[in-house]
Amino acid sequence: MTLSMCCGMAVVFGQTYQVPVSEQHEKMLTGRYQPTWESLETHQTPEWFRDAKFGIWAHWGPQCVEGSGDWMARSMYMEDSREYKWHVEHYGHPSEFGFKDVLPLFKAEKWDPEALVERYKRCGAKYFFVLGNHHDNFDLWDSKYQEWNSKRIGPKKDILDGWAKAAKKAGLPFGISFHADHAWTWYEPAQRYDIKGPKAGVYYDGNLTKADGKGKWWEGLDPQNLYQQRHPMSYDSWSNGKVHDQWGWGEGACPPSQEFVTNFYDRTLDAINRYHPDLIYFDVTVLPFYPISDCGLRIAAHLYNKNPRSVVFGKILNDDQRKALTWDVERGAPNELIDIPWQTCNCIGNWHYKTSIYEKDGYKSAETVVKQLVDIVSKNGNLLLSIPLRADGTYDDKEAKVLDNLEAWMSVNGESIFGTRPWVKFGEGPVAETDIKINAQGFNEGMYSKLDARDVRFNQTKKYLYATALGWPENGTLVIKSLAKGNPDFKKTISSVYLLGYGKLKAQQTFEGLKVVLPKPCNDIAPVLRIQK
């Protein structure tokens, strides 16, 4: 490693970093790829990923225990929040019963990884993702560098090992997501106290130390290895939304220590070396601790050197960074055809299991999922879909219905998804012609909520062009303008098309478009036309 010190900063491979990683414990695998953008840009997203198109994600961990949804381990320390009130009512005040005390309640007692992965595979998943750790900083494996882990506490199981073996048995590429790099700022509310009420001024348990555990269930464990709050609060930390402005380690975020950064690096390499993932995902701006540390660049180089056919995802990437990493868009999509492969990550509910979504019938339907998938694939993207699991390791009956309906559509129409490539244009229709902007990491899926039969999406193989209407037209007639007579993009005369799940249909090609009279709907979601090239 080329490293020199200048004015308190470290110069690594010609780049200056405020918080460089230490390799005292875990060494980055050397080889073709170096931890620089110039080197990582020589890695290309593999063809297997482009063929896969659809993955399922088990975004599952101890934050599912209370059924309060995503980020509950942060929100339970925000006085007057819904999560705080529910926690106080059912478990006690966060000065006495904090998130560390929720961990033993995560039992995973009904978890059957093989059955789950096989179920997801039947729904069309071509790769499978799991949570390695979340912002709650709890490792879901027998972690060498984090004592707060699932082998020691809660399930007393190596969760990653079980998932990895199930994915291997099913023949699916395996992905792990790592989110714990933001525990430093994300857990800052655990340093707070109530402003009002009988506990006013009593600090929450985010300030506890190992010495405070004497005689407690967690005796011998250091809460600070979980909460990571041995540091001043970030600027305006009591403002609950400020953490979003500071996600990229700016806007007054308290800088992480080298010890914390290196610990995340060590844990991530430990998991990569043990479970051999084909994909890794970071819930960050660009890469973990970028641009103040070389941590994320080193992890990416390590995985690429270990597995040249691997994929590393990053968010909010510029054009050059998209050459080195695969761009991930959260809960949304660009409304244009992207030249290089990318991915949307989304969920049918909340990222962590939320009981109220079940009670209010709030899950995305299989129809919504399929429409999003078809739209994304037409733009050269993949969809990674999370199916929230309850703390016991099972999905509920309403999620089962979504999976059933998804499997039914995929089993007939999957050929129009898997192994395809974009056509000369991604689609036509009102939504296709709307200027839809990305909001930060994504978060524009609401703009796609009105997809219907007027919107058609295209993709192709060497032999066929597929045209999918995102709904069945009420009058039974579909007119595809992009395939009008004389269209230079598809010069072959079209006299018949094949409707997947039904059979051949007569087609009339006019100067207004390709006119197809459809039969009674043969599926509940969307008709797919297969056209000979």
* Distance between start and end Cα atoms, the chain: 53
What stretches of 134-179 adopt beta strand conformation (E)?
174-178
**What gap in Å lies between CA 314 and CA 342, rounded to an integer?**
10
Only one residue has tokens 């690594």, namely: 12
Q: What is the pLDDT of residue 154?
A: 98
Residue 174 in 3-state DSSP?
strand
Single out the residue of 280, 306, 245, 235 nearest to residue 27, CA to CA.
306
Single out the residue of 310, 383, 440 nearest to residue 40, CA to CA.
310
DSSP state of 149: B
Each residue's pLDDT expressed in tens, for the chain with a length of 533 residues: 444 443 456 666 667 899 999 999 999 999 999 999 999 999 999 999 999 999 999 999 999 999 999 999 999 999 999 999 999 999 999 999 999 999 999 999 999 999 999 999 999 999 999 999 999 999 999 999 999 999 999 999 999 999 999 999 999 999 999 999 999 999 999 999 999 999 999 999 999 999 999 999 999 999 999 999 999 999 999 999 999 999 999 999 999 999 999 999 999 999 999 999 999 999 999 999 999 999 999 999 999 999 999 999 999 999 999 999 999 999 999 999 999 999 999 999 999 999 999 999 999 999 999 999 999 999 999 999 999 999 999 999 999 999 999 999 999 999 999 999 999 999 999 999 999 999 999 999 999 999 999 999 999 999 999 999 999 999 999 999 999 999 999 888 998 899 999 999 999 999 999 999 999 999 999 999 999 99
Q: Please give the helix or strand (H or E) that residue 509 lies within, else none.
A: strand 503-509
Number of Cβ within a 10 Å radius of residue 403: 19
User: CB-based contacts of 380: which residues, under 8 Å, 6+ apart?
Assistant: 50, 337, 338, 339, 340, 341, 342, 421, 422
Sign of CA pseudo-dihedral 158, 159, 165, 168 = negative
- Residues 111 and 150: beta-carbon distance below 8 Å: no
Cα–Cα separations (whole angstroms), residue 410 to 1, 101, 345? 49, 42, 19
Q: What is the pLDDT of residue 14?
A: 63
- Residues 471 and 453: beta-carbon distance below 8 Å: yes
In a 13 Å sphere around the CA of 442, the CA atoms on its Cβ side amount to 21
Residue 146 in 3-state DSSP?
coil
Q: What is the pLDDT of residue 511?
A: 95
b/e sequence 496-525, b meaning 16+ C-beta within 10 Å: ebebbebeebebebeeebbbbebeeeebeb
Phi, psi of 321 (to 5 degrees): -65, -30
The 3-state secondary structure of 360-409 reads CCCCCCHHHHHHHHHHHHHCCEEEEEECCCCCCCCCCHHHHHHHHHHHHH
